[in-house]
Amino acid sequence: MIANHLLTWITFIPLLGMLAILLAPATQKALIRGLAVVATAIPLGLSLYLWLTWGAVNGGSAQLQYVERVPWIQAGNFLVQYFVGVDGLSMPLVALTCLLMFIGVFASWNIERGMKGYFALLLLLEVGINGTFVSLDIFLFYVFWEVMLLPMYFLIGIWGGPRKEYAAIKFFLYTLAGSVLMLVAIVALYLITGTFAIASYTEGGQNMPGLLELARTKQITGANLVAGGVLMGVSFQDWMFWFFFIAFAIKVPIFPFHTWLPDAHVEAPTPISVILAGILLKLGGYGMFRIGFPIAPESFEKFRTLLAVLGTINIVYGAYVAMGQTDFKKLVAYSSVSHMGYVLLGAAAMTDWGVKGAVLQMFNHGTSSAMLFLIVGVIYDRAHHRELNGFGGLVTQMPYYGGLTTLGFFAALGLPGLAGFISEALTLLGSFKTYPTLTVISCLGVVMTAAFLLFAFQRVFQGPLNPKYAKLPDISGREVFCQAPFAFLCVLFGVLPTLILDILNPAVKQFLLLFPA
Amino acid sequence: MLASFSGFLSVAAATAVQHADAGHAAAAAAAGPHWGFTDQDMMRLLAVPLLPLFAYLIQIFIGRKLPRQGDWLLTGAMFCGLGLALYEFAKCLGAWSPDFQVSSRAMGLGWKFLSSTETSLGQPVPNVIAGILYDNLSAAMLVVVTLVSSLVHLFSMGYMHGDSRYNVFFANISLFSFAMLGLVLSDNLVFFFVFWELMGLCSYLLIGHFYYKDSARKACVKAFLTTRVGDTLLMIGLFILWNQFGTLSFTELYGKVEQLVVAEGGWPLWLTVAGLLVFCGTIGKSAQFPLHVWLPDAMEGPTPVSAMIHAATMVAAGVYLVGRAFPFLSPDARLVVALVGSFTGIFAATIGICANDIKKVLAYSTISQLGFMVAGIGVGGVSAGLFHMITHACFKACLFLGSGSVIHAVHTQDMREMGGLRKKMPVTYLTMLVSTLAIAGVPLFAGFYSKDAILAKAVERALLDGHWWYWLPVGFLFTAAGITAFYMFRLVHMTFHGEPRDREKFDHAHESGPTMAIPLIVLGFLAVICGYGYHHGIPNVWPEHGGWFQELWRDPVPHEIAHKLAGAHIHDAAHVEHVQHLAHNSAMMGSLAVAGLGILLSCAFYLWRKLDAAAWARTFGPVYTLVLNKYYVDEFYSKTAIAGTFLVSKVSSLFDKYVVDGVVNGVGRTMRGISGGSAAFDRVVVDGAVNFAGLGTQAVGSVLRLLQSGRIQQYVTLSVIGLVLLLAVLILR
């Protein structure tokens, strides 16, 4: 039963957990925490099963796996389906989500105020994120996308720092503005094609083409909606492309839509920052790969150089701005901006290695940025500030913390042997073929990333010990437990990248085939 | 056999068999398959880098709890590696052929590092399979690296005794050795680059070992970032090679470049550019001008680390890279290599004259000697340049460990506070003296043979080529050789000869214990003998052979000569032989003369006191100041590149805060004005999207109010209602 509806279980078990928490009395804190642990541990276990049996079940083909499809809302021709499934593109991200959420619960251990609501919202967030990753119906995708938005808003807005209201509203409105564009595009797509299905499926022996197949075979022209498929001098496909792109670009975030991110990160509590950087940003990238680019292949072809430029700006500009920060968390936030630029650059390059690097970068950034935000959280919990210049020599006092931070920083700056290197190098290698100049400029980001991370490390951890912090306790067992899985994954996929590349290979090939040669 | 390989790595899933490198099948067939090397030999070779790696892993997790903080474990692992390396080296010498080359991939052993699908998209997507390339060069390097590393480990047991991070130190130098050994055995540039960067990490960790010192924390960041500039350019070079050839395996690259040059009848510009970019990696790692600035500062690390960086790892890796890359360097690129190397040689040597810190002198001498090696390779003397790297590893490791022994004894690095130490520290004195004779180029000591070979090659190149560009390295190198003899003897005189200048420090000085003395003796011995056999076989041992290194590591013949390309300047063999003879003789004379002059001058200044150094410094006032301040290169960088970077970052931050985010906030404020505002404004603005955003704001506000009442359940209901509403809109469109 579980194997047949694996994705449904992964997605909705946290919802059951949320309901259980809501029913639990608010005074039973241990019970609530326990429920949250169980409700995130089960999906984690299932996603591990999914990963470890990947390829063994359905031969590891490029096809979608664990597909479930039942009608959800039906009114005449209007059909919204509960249509879910995963391929090599989404499966690692689902697993990453489950891991991050599980760790997120432990990282939230110290949250006392309104913890019942907090954990309920956290679990709802997991439903939204995993639901978005597994959706193969664009309407369903949109529903989950919005479900994810609201808990995030409250988690920042209630449990955040001093400027939490501002940051939460900014995050919410910014993302909502993108969602509106996406909604418009979805409605238009439905009006043109009469379907919400992203992937094709068979119904009663008859092939029902999904949106991507229709796009690939150039059947989405918009000619039946507006004359000639041109609206205000811009082709329908271009409109759709930009609507989707902006919606996803805000989430990634792509310059110049990135300014909500540092604010949200700085104000959000540590576990929420971890989830935000670790997985929420990936939804933007995933959206582009799953829907945004293949839905308008010709527009993508037309504009991809511009996208590559934007990606390059993200990488280099993000690194320079990060260097100018004195708030530890803001620095890490801007490093995310820089790192996510690789995703766009690699995707725009449209080479096998470039796309693979981009997809891998999403996963690897998920682990390394999660680690970085946990690292910031450790010091913030102890010193109650994040001013880079206010520390110094912490290695003396906190050697284990210093060691883990070294690992996290070097993973983030792309040291070979750690995961970030593989994805960055593959992205640059792949994009060099298409955009040599932009790639060379992006390489500046490689140096700058090393620079700002090492300067930060120098200020916080090296040098003479600041006497103010001569009594700080070293990293606790719980904190090590939170960081260890990410450290392990950084090393594992840095040393054995084939473990994940073998999963991505067929999916990336499939992705590239969606575009007319 | 594949199973055992993958079992060793514990990565059955990630291994793959790659069959036959067609390249040298014929050569291998002549000497039996793979020169008689079996899978077991490959396992032994693999164990050489893996032993220190495993020791490192054990050390970082439980090192502190082990007896003696685990130093014996790491040192033991290194010595085991040395044993294995020597064993295989003996087999390599047994084969005795310049064509000796064992490739694990040809034997069907490889590790699939990156995988890709065969796509139908018409793009080359080769797999990256890592394997071991064991030829005469890697065989010799493997022995040198394991030997020096083992001795440094042994030395550190004494030198680092009582350090608060003793266990971490040992872990890090073992990781350093692992990275270098992996690099030496790599058969492709991908893995080469991986280990190359790992060494960057290790140097960062070790230079910053005394992280609480402000100078140390600056030095380690500087070392990492400076070399990373070079590394990034190297990476771009690799991109070009990959995109053009679809492979980064050394042997495959050699073949493909040769084919290309023959087919095109010349060297395309992009290949020159790629070669130079690869060389940029060397400029960074081997501290060539203009990226040499990190190396003197790297002296902030403990002295054994300096020995490690300067002799066995890191800087040697850069030279090793040019040596390996030589066959795909175009003639233009080679000229640049020669010029950069020889300029670095003289540039750093001049700074060495004025330095008073014993380790700084050695640091600049390393930069200068690296310049010799690089220049030697650039002028076509690949064998000479790499041979100098090997001899230099022995005597420079000895010099650094010796300086460590001195510092350990007198607790200062300033040579002006030393003097007369030869009576107190006879072992250190003798070994350092021997090494100084070697580096100065005195006959019968190792450095003489290798340096002489480089000088001879430079003269030969200039004579054959005739272009004045090629005379520049000759001039630079001979001058640098003389200066080297001068400042190295200055070091010996100031430290060991004369009267003690600081009586208190002198009285406390004592000879170091056996863990420190034994490495010095071994290295001092090697500084004498490891040069023998370059030109001449060792009489009565290998009488039938020529010099082993020259015979086994022949200079690659440039393609344009090998294939008699149209336009390539070809000399007949007799002429070449004549020129070689001439070059060799004149180089030997010249190098003897400059070395003698340098030694005499330094004796005149610092031993016999016939000349007054201070007075000379005053005479050359401005020049002296310029050199003393290392030509102000650091100041130049901090005023330009570094200041520029910080300026750009500052401007970017402000731009982000006030312009990009300013627009966002402006839009936000406008929206708030709209949605909270007057009905009149509402009528004017009929843009649907704006209205929607306004509604959204209000919706959020109301939801937030609900939530603050503490009833989370309502929120869920509300969002469901919202969804239903949306549906309704769509259905009733």
Taking the CA of residue A513 and the nearest CA in chain B, the distance in Å comes to: 8
* Contact state of A120 with B712 under an 8 Å Cβ cutoff: yes
Q: Which residue has the tokens 């021709």?
A: A77
Read off the pLDDT band of A47 (50, 70, 90). Answer: very high
Q: DSSP E strands: which ranges in B22-114?
A: 101-103, 111-114
Query: Average pLDDT, stretch A137-160?
Result: 90
Residues A260 and B664 sit within 8 Å (Cβ to Cβ): yes
What pLDDT score does B14 carry? 33
Nearest CA in chain A to B239: A429
Res. A275: pLDDT tops 50: yes
Q: How many distinct helices (H) and strands (E) make up chain B? A: 32, 4
Q: Which two tokens stand for residue B271?
A: 């290949």
Euclidean distance between CA atoms B460 and B477, whole angstroms: 13
What pLDDT score does B719 carry? 66
Nearest to B121 among A352, A446, A505 (CB): A352
What pLDDT score does B537 carry? 42
Euclidean distance between CA atoms B248 and B40, whole angstroms: 26
Give the tens place of pLDDT for each residue, B166-201: 888 999 999 999 999 999 998 888 889 999 999 989
What pLDDT score does A133 carry? 94
Q: Which residue has the tokens 């009469």?
A: A194
Res. B703: pLDDT tops 70: no
Mean of the per-residue pLDDT values for chain A? 88
Query: Average pLDDT, stretch B129-137?
Result: 85
Q: With contacts defined as CB-CB under 8 Å, which chain A residues touch B707?
A: 154, 158
Euclidean distance between CA atoms A333 and A342, whole angstroms: 15
Task: State the CB neighbour count (10 A cutoff) for residue B404.
Answer: 29
Q: With contacts defined as CB-CB under 8 Å, which chain A residues touch B166?
A: none
Euclidean distance between CA atoms A417 and B418, whole angstroms: 44
Give the percent of chain B with pLDDT over 90. 15
Read off the pLDDT band of B540 (50, 70, 90). Answer: very low
Q: Which amino acid is residue B664, in one-letter code?
A: V
What pLDDT score does B694 carry? 66
What pLDDT score does B469 carry? 83
Taking the CA of residue A140 and the nearest CA in chain B, the distance in Å comes to: 11
Please report the number of interchain residue pairs, chain A to chain B, with beta-carbon separation below 8 angstroms: 201
Q: Which two tokens stand for residue B322?
A: 């040019």
Euclidean distance between CA atoms B652 and B650, whole angstroms: 5
Greater model confidence, B585 or A34: A34
Euclidean distance between CA atoms A157 and A164, whole angstroms: 5
Nearest CA in chain A to B699: A173
Nearest CA in chain B to A495: B113
Res. B733: pLDDT tops 60: no
Nearest to A259 among B224, B664, B692 (CB): B664
pTM across the whole model: 0.87
Query: Average pLDDT, stretch B545-572?
Result: 60
Give the tens place of pLDDT for each residue, B374-421: 999 988 888 888 888 888 988 888 898 888 888 888 888 888 888 788
Q: With contacts defined as CB-CB under 8 Å, which chain A residues touch B218?
A: 458
Res. B160: pLDDT tops 70: yes
Nearest to B649 among A320, A351, A461 (CB): A320
Give the tens place of pLDDT for each residue, B658-693: 888 888 888 878 877 777 765 555 555 555 556 566
Q: With contacts defined as CB-CB under 8 Å, which chain B residues touch A425?
A: 235
Euclidean distance between CA atoms B671 and A180, whole angstroms: 15
Under 8 Å CB-to-CB from A471, ≥6 apart: which residues? A397
What residues are paired with A387 via a beta bridge? Answer: A327
What pLDDT score does A309 carry? 94
* Contact state of B13 with A498 under an 8 Å Cβ cutoff: yes
Give the tens place of pLDDT for each residue, A341-382: 999 999 999 888 889 999 999 999 999 999 999 999 999 888
Nearest CA in chain A to B198: A416
Give the percent of chain B with pLDDT over 70. 81
Read off the pLDDT band of B543 (50, 70, 90). Answer: very low
Res. A82: pLDDT tops 60: yes
Res. B29: pLDDT tops 50: no
Res. B278: pLDDT tops 90: yes
* Contact state of B225 with A454 under an 8 Å Cβ cutoff: yes
Read off the pLDDT band of B16 (50, 70, 90). Answer: very low
Q: With contacts defined as CB-CB under 8 Å, which chain B residues touch A157?
A: 704
Q: With contacts defined as CB-CB under 8 Å, which chain A residues touch B211?
A: 393, 395, 461-463
Nearest to A463 among B114, B120, B212 (CB): B212
Res. B574: pLDDT tops 80: no
Write phi, then psi, for B640 (nearest 5 degrees).
-105, -80
Side-chain half-sphere exposure of A370, counting CA atoms within 13 A: 33
* Contact state of A447 with B13 under an 8 Å Cβ cutoff: no
What pLDDT score does B548 carry? 63
What pLDDT score does B11 carry? 33
Q: With contacts defined as CB-CB under 8 Å, which chain A residues touch B656?
A: 259, 317, 321
Query: Average pLDDT, stretch A459-485?
Result: 88
What pLDDT score does B1 carry? 34
Taking the CA of residue B685 and the nearest CA in chain A, the distance in Å comes to: 17
CA angle, corner A201, sides to A199 and A203, nearest 5? 150
Euclidean distance between CA atoms B404 and B416, whole angstroms: 16
**Test mutation, A21, A139, A320, A514, chain B, max B CBs within 10 A:** A320
Query: Average pLDDT, stretch A293-318?
Result: 92
Helix (H) or strand (E) holding A83: strand A78-86
Nearest to B712 among A22, A259, A395 (CB): A22
Q: With contacts defined as CB-CB under 8 Å, which chain A residues touch B713?
A: 22
Per mean pLDDT, which range of B119-123, B345-349, B647-651 is the poorest? B119-123
Read off the pLDDT band of B442 (50, 70, 90). Answer: confident
What pLDDT score does A60 carry? 53
Nearest to A417 among B198, B221, B703 (CB): B198
Residues A55 and A499 sit within 8 Å (Cβ to Cβ): no
Res. A126: pLDDT tops 70: yes
Domain borders along chain A are 298-507
Q: With contacts defined as CB-CB under 8 Å, which chain A residues touch B646?
A: 323
Phi-psi bin for B129: left (phi > 0), alpha (psi -120 to 50), beta?
A: beta
Greater model confidence, B579 or A416: A416
What pLDDT score does B711 carry? 55
* Contact state of B712 with A443 under an 8 Å Cβ cutoff: no
Taking the CA of residue A465 and the nearest CA in chain B, the distance in Å comes to: 7
According to DSSP, residue B57 is labeled H
* Contact state of B115 with A174 under an 8 Å Cβ cutoff: no
* Contact state of A187 with B229 under an 8 Å Cβ cutoff: no
For B44-71, b/e burial (b = at least 16 CB within 10 A) is bbbbbbbbbbebbebbbeebeeeeebbb
Greater model confidence, A96 or B266: A96
**Test mutation, A150, A156, A186, A428, chain B, max B CBs within 10 A:** A150
* Contact state of B197 with A258 under an 8 Å Cβ cutoff: no
* Contact state of A416 with B121 under an 8 Å Cβ cutoff: no
Give the tens place of pLDDT for each residue, B42-100: 888 888 899 999 999 998 888 788 878 888 888 999 999 999 988 888 888 877 777 78
